[in-house]
Amino acid sequence: MMPVRPQKLALGIDVGTSGVRVAAVDNEGQTRALSTHAFAAGEERSSPAAWWRGVEACFKALAGQIDLRHVGAVAVDGTSGTVLALDESLSPLGRALMYDEACPDPKIVASLDSVAPENSPARGLYSALARAAYLARKHDAFRVVHQADWIAMQLGAPVTSDENNALKTGYDLDSREWPAWIAGLDLDPKVLPEVLPAGSVIGPVCDKAASLGLPPSAVIVSGTTDGCASFLATGAGDVGEGVTALGSTLVLKLLSDRRIDAPAYGIYSHRIAGVWLAGGASNTGGAVIRHFFTDEDLPQLTARLNPEQPTRLDYYPLLRPGERFPVNDPDLQPKLEPRPADDAVFFQALLEGIAAVEEQGYRRLKQLGAPALKSVRSVGGGAVNAAWTRIRQRKLGVPFLPAASTEAAVGTALLAWKAVAK
């Protein structure tokens, strides 16, 4: 009897807002191990040193679950738009500026709006490019990179990024280069990393990675953003398949055979493996529900929902005025009246309102040229509410498929595996 050869594994490292996760998948795409490390304090989320400690802790835990010597590839995802400055030794110059932090210098934002094309996803107060320009000036930085880039560099990668992380920093997906207009921000494009398509083999790991237990034969693969990684983890892979994230906000992503960009609606597309991932984020979502009800309220309210009998209250649940996707109206008012006396009816009306925004979002994508929605997978805390799922099914009218995984680290591991399995 021939001995069974051990399966090769691929690792995905997910550096998120709350901590680090590392997943291992085998050559059949099955998750073999998962380790997690939570950041101890809020400030750790912007500390490169804390990110790396999290990676080390996860690898230590992972070594107790699998043999790391069987790892053939590793890739990293990070929060989209998080950037940090490096000195000539490629060491961090202070903390990172996170994806949800406005550029501290409004003059940079004004300059950006004057030089960037109208359809550029790099525009705006929360622009990753504006943060990069600010850090470059503040520190007279040698390089400015994204969160995922820096972790990959610790594993042995040169100063490189991927097209998904670079998109909001102004990278031109058509010409596949940093555009010349970036110089209008008094930012030398050479400060920014070289960019590769997501899922490209970069090269072998270094001695520092070997100290984590990785074999010298393992290769680093260019990664992606946490949002794209979460999509890949679900198993969605055909044009027309959508993934809805039911978290604090409502986020939609749709696999498209064509690029869809509509900055006025907060819609832009990422390119992965020759296809496009188009999507947008609404201001509605779970944060509205949390405003009115506690976690303790929800189980008993859910038990009283009647998805087959709509309330017809036609809410547009927002915490404050303003919406960008699927409606472009900075003054759009929340619609939460009339409020019925029965909290269960009010709760159902909120869920119906969010489901209506979801349906409108996928319809907006189609109006702009995306393929028609043919199925939905759901992630986020709201995905486990069966009654809400039924409300959404009635509204969208397409099959709801189970998500293979909801872990971004798994999606990144799958991206790494596909790169070396070609």
Q: DSSP letters along 112-147, please?
A: HHHHS-TT-TT-STT-HHHHHHHHHHHHT-SEEEEH
Q: What is the structure's pLDDT at 323?
A: 93
Tell me how far apart the 2 most distant CA atoms of the chain are, in Å: 73
Residue 7 vs residues 27, 34, 45: alpha-carbon distances, Å: 7, 17, 34
pLDDT at 56: 97
pLDDT at 4 over 80: no
Characterise 105 by phi-psi region: left (phi > 0), alpha (psi -120 to 50), beta (else): beta
> What are the tens digits of pLDDT across the range 185-227?
999 999 999 999 999 999 999 999 999 999 999 999 999 999 8
pLDDT at 6 over 80: no
Q: Nearest to residue 71, comparing CAs of 30, 25, 114, 102?
A: 25
Alpha-carbon distance of 38 to 400, in angstroms, equals 32
Q: Residue 248: is its pLDDT beyond 90?
A: no
| 6 compared with 249, residue with greater pLDDT | 249
Query: Helix axis angle, 128-139 relative to 106-115, nearest 10°?
Result: 120
- The predicted model gives 379-383 an average pLDDT of 90
Q: How far apart are CA 238 and CA 224, in angstroms?
A: 19
Task: Give the per-residue pLDDT at 1.
Answer: 38
User: Which tokens go with 25?
Assistant: 């998948």
In this model, does residue 2 exceed pLDDT 60?
A: no
Rounded to an integer, the average pLDDT of 399-412 is: 96
Q: What is the arithmetic mean of pLDDT over 138-147? A: 97
pLDDT score at 5: 44
Q: Using 50, 70 and 90 to split pLDDT, how confident is the model at 422?
A: low
Only one residue has tokens 């498209």, namely 256
Distance separating alpha carbons of residues 204 and 74, to the nearest angstrom:
10
Phi, psi at residue 56, to the nearest 5°?
-60, -45
The whole-angstrom separation of Cα 247 and Cα 379 is 8
pLDDT at 273: 82
Sheet hosting strand 71-78, strand order edge to edge = 31-38, 19-26, 9-15, 71-78, 219-225, 201-204
Q: State the DSSP string of 93-113.
A: -SPPBPTTSPPS-HHHHHHHH
Q: What is the H or E stretch that residue 291 is in? A: helix 286-292
Position 421 scores a pLDDT of: 86
Q: What is the mean pLDDT of residues 161-165?
A: 97
pLDDT of residue 124: 86
Pairing status of strand 194-196 against strand 160-162: parallel
- Taking the whole predicted model, whether its pTM rises above 0.85 is answered as yes
b/e per residue, 313-349, with b = 16+ CB within 10 A? bebbbbeeeebbbbbeeeebebebeeeeeeebbbbbb
Give the C-alpha distances (Å, rounded to integers) separating 18 from 36, 50, 64, 240. 10, 11, 23, 31
**199: alpha, beta or left, given left = phi > 0 and alpha = psi -120 to 50?**
left
Query: Residue 277 corresponds to which tokens in the numbers above?
Result: 């991932």
Q: How far apart are the first and last CA of the chain?
A: 30
Average pLDDT over residues 286-290: 94
pLDDT at 246: 92
Euclidean distance between CA atoms 207 and 155, whole angstroms: 8
The rounded percent of the chain whose pLDDT value lies above 90 is: 88
In order of their start, the domains of the chain are: 9-227+408-421 (3.30.420.40), 239-396 (3.30.420.40)
Query: Can you give the pLDDT at residue 292?
Result: 97
Segment 18-68, tens digit of pLDDT = 899 999 999 999 999 999 999 988 789 999 999 999 999 999 999 999 999
Q: What is the mean pLDDT of residues 105-115?
A: 95
Across residues 264-280, what is the average pLDDT?
91
Residue 125's pLDDT is 86
**Helices (H), ranges, 1-125:** 48-62, 106-115
Residue 21 confidence (pLDDT): 97
Residue from 119, 97, 93 nearest 108 by CA: 97
Average pLDDT across the chain, whole number: 94
Give pLDDT, residue 7: 66
